[in-house]
Amino acid sequence: MEYGIKEEGRFKYIESEGGEENLLLLHGLFGALSNFEGIISHFSQKYNVIVPILPIFDLPIRKVSLTGLVDYVIDFVEYKGYQKVHLLGNSLGGHIALLYALARPGRVASIILTGSSGLFESAMGTSFPKRGDYEFIKKKTESTFYTPEVASKELVDEVFDIVNDRNKAIRVVATAKSAVRHNLGDNLHQIKAPTLLVWGKQDQITPAFVGEKFHELIENSRLIFLDECGHAPMMEHPEAFNQHLENFLKEVTAKTAG
Please give the CATH superfamily to which domain 6-126+179-257 belongs: Alpha/Beta hydrolase fold, catalytic domain (3.40.50.1820)
* 244 conformational bin, left if phi > 0, alpha if psi -120 to 50, beta if neither: alpha
Report the alpha-carbon distance of residue 102 to residue 171 in Å, rounded.
Answer: 24
Q: What does DSSP assign to residue 34? A: G
Residues of the chain with pLDDT under 50: 124-126
* 118 conformational bin, left if phi > 0, alpha if psi -120 to 50, beta if neither: left
Which pLDDT score, from 0 to 100, does residue 126 have?
A: 44
For residue 43, the surrounding DSSP H or E stretch is helix 37-43
Q: pLDDT tens-digit profile of 166-222? A: 899 889 889 988 998 899 999 999 999 999 999 999 999 999 999 999 999 999 999
Round to the nearest angstrom and report the end-to-end CA distance of the chain.
Answer: 36
**Residue 244: phi, psi to the nearest 5?**
-60, -40
CB atoms within 10 A of CB 128: 13
Report the alpha-carbon distance of residue 144 to residue 153 in Å, rounded.
Answer: 14
